[in-house]
Amino acid sequence: MTSKNETSKRVNPLKRLRGWPLTFLLAGVTGLSIAPFYWLVVSSTRKDTEVFDWPPKLLPGGHLGENLDHLQQKIGLLRVVGNSLLVAGIQTLGALVVALLAGYAFAKFRFRGRTLLFALLFSTLVVPEQVMLVPLFKMMMNFGLLDTYQALILPGLCVPFAIFLMRQSLSSLPDELLDAARVDGAGEFRVLFSVVVPVMRPVLAALSIFLFLGSWNQFVWPLIALRSPEMHTLPVALATLHGNKSNTDYGAILSGTALSTLPMMVLFLVLQRQFISGLLAGATKG
Amino acid sequence: MSAASPPAALTRRSAAPRRSRWRRTAVPYLLLAPALLTFGVFKAYPVIDSLLLSFTTGSGTATHGAGLANYQRLLDDPLFWTALRNTAEILVVQVPLMLGLALLMAVGINSALVRWRTVWRLGVFMPSVTGLVATGVIFAYLLKTDDGAVNWVLNAVGLPSVDWLGQPVWARMAVVLVLTWHYTGYNAVIYLAGLQSIPRELYEAAMVDGAGPIRRFTSITVPALRPVLLFTIVLSTIGTLQLFDEPYVLTGGGPDNATLTVSMYLYQNGFRYFDFGYASAIAYALTLLVTVLGAVQMRLMGERDT
């Protein structure tokens, strides 16, 4: 730890040796970060009576399918996962389009009210999400939309952070590129979809992972807006089953938890570069 | 359309200036329409409606104006103060602990002496990808008193078992533990990006001047990271003030309301008792807290930033 700030390129072998304690320390920290996932993998693949064995089991077993079967009987797993995929998919796509259009307007057009509208969209960032829960609930009740997919999807279409990110990335797009297409007679929307979108593909990809993950994991609002178990999304179904103390099939709950977590892990590992760059765009410019 | 020859395009441009001007004026508003519509209906309207609701009382459709009665009730409500105290205690322990650890992690990973740094960066970031409900479920089992894996590890190194979810103070610490596990790596990756943008020459110059590692850390690293530090402090504070998912799943607010947070109390009033007026007053009290704390932090840290 003594020379932690040194970033010089040439490191002699003796110094390399001094790096090992720090490397081991970081390996330990990383181990702590990953250990709960490993425990999840082990527990969700073992018989549910083995989850709390003392000492804990160290290797995965072969009971994942059986656990998922139990979960299908308890919460209708397939339907619930389908709900989650549908809501997250549509919400991601919708929020992406909304953000792309708005970000393009803010980045590439000068118009009356531009600064004001931008400030307005951002003013709600300081308002906690909880403030909107009661009015949204009343609104959905009045529209007869409680316990529907629409109730979950609609409020998540306007994501100020996504608009902000799109504006940032579109600002760096050269105007000449757009003007060239306009001179060729392309209409504004054609310019957007045939010139801008292809160039922005990496940013759109990064943003869609972010939006999808946020939607996949959202909890409070679905918990409030949903009533019937067959409409539940995966987090709501898992929290409900977990909260039901009469259920002691821990293997089933944990297999569902693994199912809600591990695909996202894989997505993250495959696309980690875009993921972290998206995160940092929000952090360093926010 | 793309087949139009350049001269034709030029004449078209000069021949139809009015149409093109109209187009240039209308297009941005058309592009913004979906955002403004969804913003207006699902964000701006609820924010205003919530404020109005906080001055009403009654349930369902039978509501009537109540002036400041909800806010008065809030000040006299011991359970609200309990929720506020719990949230404050979790905040005061968790945010400095997490951000301190994150900074150490980032500095460690950034060190030139360390091997396989991409592996560590990836590993510590993974928890933040996990959903909060999943995190809550996992830790509810890991932290079980009699047969949880965490107590097994504690016993293995000679420490006594801890009644994590059964004792008020430990239950709050369990929430702190879960939050720290979930978000530390996320903050570390943000710091790491900040560290990598500090010019190496600064450190070399400081070393020539005889500055030791601690001196270099306090006079170069920390000032250079100030904007990033401010961002993470404000974000973590706001996030912890709104804490809901983790205690909901992990402890259900217990034992004996020891982990009841402001957001959970809002949820109980709004969606168990359907007292919309009172829930809205709690929501606005929370907004006030978030805004004031955020502004104070910005003022304290942001001023010297120019």
Spell out the SS3 assignment of A150-179.
Answer: HHHHHHHCCCHHHHHHHHHHHHCCCHHHHH
- Name residues whose C-beta falls within 8 Å of residue A132's C-beta, 6 or more positions apart in sequence: A155, B42, B43, B46, B47, B50
In terms of domains, do A54 and A24 share one?
Answer: yes
Question: What pTM did the predictor assign?
Answer: 0.85
Compute CA distances B171 → A126, B167, B247, whole Å: 29, 6, 9
Q: Measured between alpha carbons, how far is B254 from B248 in angstroms, rounded to an integer?
A: 9
Beta bridge partner(s), residue B279: none
Which residues in chain B are contacts of A188 at CB distance < 8 A? 23, 27
pLDDT of B7 above 90: no
Place of tokens 């118009």: A111
Q: How many CB pairs under 8 A join A and B?
A: 320
Interchain pair A185, B108: CB under 8 A? no
Domain with A22 in it? 13-61
**Chain B contact set for A5 (CB, 8 A):** 107, 111, 203, 213, 216-217, 220-221
Interchain contact B205–A (C-beta under 8 A): no
Partner-chain contact B23 A188, CB within 8 Å:
yes
Q: Do residues A98 and A126 both lie within one domain?
A: yes
State the CATH number of the domain containing residue A85: 1.10.3720.10
Nearest CA in chain A to B198: A7
Alpha-carbon distances of A174 from A178, A285, B23, B254, rounded to whole Å: 7, 20, 21, 56
Confidence class of residue B133 from pLDDT cuts 50, 70 and 90? very high
- HSE, CB side, 13 Å, CA atoms: give it for residue B293: 21
Query: Considering only residues 139 to 158 of chain A, which have any Cβ-Cβ distance to chain B shorter than 8 Å?
Result: 139, 154-155, 157-158
DSSP symbol at B59: E
> Are residue A50 and residue A102 in the same domain, yes or no?
no
Contact B265, B278 (CB under 8 A): no
Longest dimension (CA), chain A: 73
Tell me what the mean pLDDT of segment A248-262 comes to.
Answer: 87
Among residues B200, B186, B31, the alpha carbon closest in space to that of B101 is found at B186
Distance from CA of A201 to the nearest CA of B (A): 19
pLDDT of B20 reads 64
Q: Which of A17, A90, A125, A130 to mutate to test the interface with B (most CBs of B within 10 A)?
A: A130
Cβ-based contacts of A122 with chain B (< 8 Å): none
Chain Cα centroid distance, residue A9: 37
A283:B193 CB<8 A: yes
Instruction: With beta carbons less than 8 A apart as the criterion, state whether A122 and B259 touch.
Output: no
Place of tokens 């097994």: B152
In degrees and rounded to multiples of 5, residue B57 shows phi and psi of: -140, 170
pLDDT of residue B59: 67
* Confidence tier at A247 by pLDDT (50, 70, 90): confident
B134: contact with A, CB 8 A cutoff: yes
Q: Report yes or no on B11 lying in a domain.
A: no
**Nearest residue, CB atoms, B35 vs list A15, A101, A243:** A101
Both A112 and A236 in one domain: the answer is yes
Q: Which residues contact B83 (CB under 8 A, 6 or more apart)?
A: B257, B260, B261, B262, B264, B265
Rounded Cα gap, residues A263 and B270, in angstroms: 34
Count Cα atoms within 13 angstroms, Cβ side, for B213. Answer: 10
Together in a domain, A131 and A205 = yes
Q: Which residues pair with B58 in a beta bridge?
A: B63
Largest Cα–Cα distance in chain B? 87
Is residue A197 a part of any domain in this protein? Answer: yes
Using a CB-CB cut-off of 8 Å, the residues of chain B touching A160 are 39
Total number of domains constituting chain B: 1
Q: Pick A7's closest partner by Cβ from B41, B129, B200.
A: B200
Is there a domain that residue A66 lies in? no
Among A10-14, A57-61, B12-16, whose mean pLDDT is lowest? B12-16
Strands (E), chain B: 56-59, 62-65
CB B150 within 8 A of CB B164: yes
Who contacts A193 (Cβ-Cβ below 8 Å, separation ≥6)?
Answer: none
Cα→Cα distances B109→A27, B185, B195, Å:
10, 11, 10
The DSSP element (H or E) to which B85 belongs, if any, is helix B78-110
Contact with chain B for residue A184, Cβ under 8 A: yes
On whether residue A176 sits in a domain, the answer given is: yes
Query: DSSP secondary-structure letter at B58?
Result: E
Residue B84: its pLDDT value, please?
A: 95
Average pLDDT, chain B: 86
Do B126 and A32 count as a contact with CB atoms less than 8 A apart?
Answer: no
Task: Select the more confidently predicted residue: B9 or A246.
Answer: A246
Looking at the structure, tell me whether residues A44 and A94 fall in a common domain.
no
Q: Is A16 on the interface with B (CB under 8 A)?
A: yes
B29 min Cα distance to partner chain A (Å): 8
pLDDT at res. A11: 56
Q: Which residue of B has its CA nearest to A95?
A: B35
Residue B294 in domain? yes
The set of residues, in sequence order, having a beta carbon less than 8 Å from that of B284 and lying 6+ positions away, is: A131, B50, B51, B54
**Chain A residue at shortest CA distance from B274:** A134
Q: Which amino acid is at B206?
A: A
**For A196-200, what is the mean pLDDT?**
88
SS3 B56: strand
The answer to whether residue B18 sits within a structural domain is no
Looking at the structure, do residues A144 and A24 belong to the same domain, yes or no?
no
Backbone φ, ψ for residue B64 (5° rounding): -145, 160
> Who contacts A138 (Cβ-Cβ below 8 Å, separation ≥6)?
B49, B276
Nearest CA-CA distance, residue B171 and chain A, Å: 17
Is there a domain that residue B32 lies in? no
Residue B287 resides in a domain: yes
Contact B46 A139 (CB under 8 A): yes
User: Is the model's pLDDT at B255 over the cut of 70?
Assistant: yes
User: What is the reported pLDDT for B302?
Assistant: 66
Q: How many domains does chain A have?
A: 2
Contacts of A264 in chain B (CB under 8 A): 129-131
Let me know whether A27 and A155 are in one domain: no
In a domain, A101, yes or no: yes
- Phi/psi-derived region of residue A76, left when phi > 0, alpha when psi is between -120 and 50, beta in every other case: left
Q: Which residue has the higher pLDDT, A281 or B93?
A: B93
Alpha helix (H) ranges present in chain A?
Answer: 13-44, 64-75, 77-108, 114-123, 130-142, 149-153, 160-171, 175-183, 188-191, 197-199, 201-217, 220-225, 234-243, 250-270, 272-285
Is residue B39 situated within a structural domain? no
Report pLDDT digits (tens) over B182-204: 999 999 999 998 898 888 888 88
Contact between A134 and B50 using a beta-carbon 8 Å cutoff: yes
Summarize pLDDT for A42-87 with one digit per residue, the tens. 888 888 777 777 777 778 877 888 888 888 888 888 999 999 999 9
Asked if the structure places residue A230 within a domain, the reply is yes
Q: Any idea which of B18-22, B101-105, B131-135 has the lowest mean pLDDT?
A: B18-22
Separation CA A84–CA A50 (nearest Å): 29
Q: Do the domain assignments include residue B58?
A: no
Window 62-101 of B: residues touching A by CB (8 A cutoff) are: none
Interchain pair B245, A4: CB under 8 A? no
Residue B1 has pLDDT above 70, yes or no: no
Q: Tell me if A199 is assigned to some domain.
A: yes
Arithmetic mean of pLDDT, B226-242: 90
Chain A residues near residue B286 by CB distance under 8 angstroms: 128, 130-131
Residue B135 counted as domain residue: yes
Q: Which pairing describes strands B62-65 and B56-59: parallel, antiparallel, or unpaired?
A: antiparallel
At residue A177, the pLDDT reads 83
| Same domain (yes/no): A85, A219 | yes
pLDDT beyond 70 at A272: yes
Q: What is the pLDDT of residues A112-147, one digit of tens each?
A: 889 999 998 888 777 888 999 999 999 999 999 999
User: Is residue B221 within 8 Å of B91, Cβ to Cβ?
Assistant: no
Range of the domain at B120: 72-305
Q: Which of A196, A128, A198, A203 is nearest to A165 (CA)?
A: A203
Q: Is B111 on the interface with A (CB under 8 A)?
A: yes
Judge: A135–B130 Cβ closer than 8 Å, yes or no. no
User: For residue B306, what pLDDT band results from cuts at 50, 70 and 90?
Assistant: very low
Q: Is the pLDDT of residue B218 over 50?
A: yes
Domain containing B222 — which CATH number? Answer: 1.10.3720.10
* Residues A260-285, mean pLDDT to the nearest whole number: 74
**ipTM value for the complex:** 0.84
Chain B residues within 8 A of A1 when measuring between CB atoms: 108
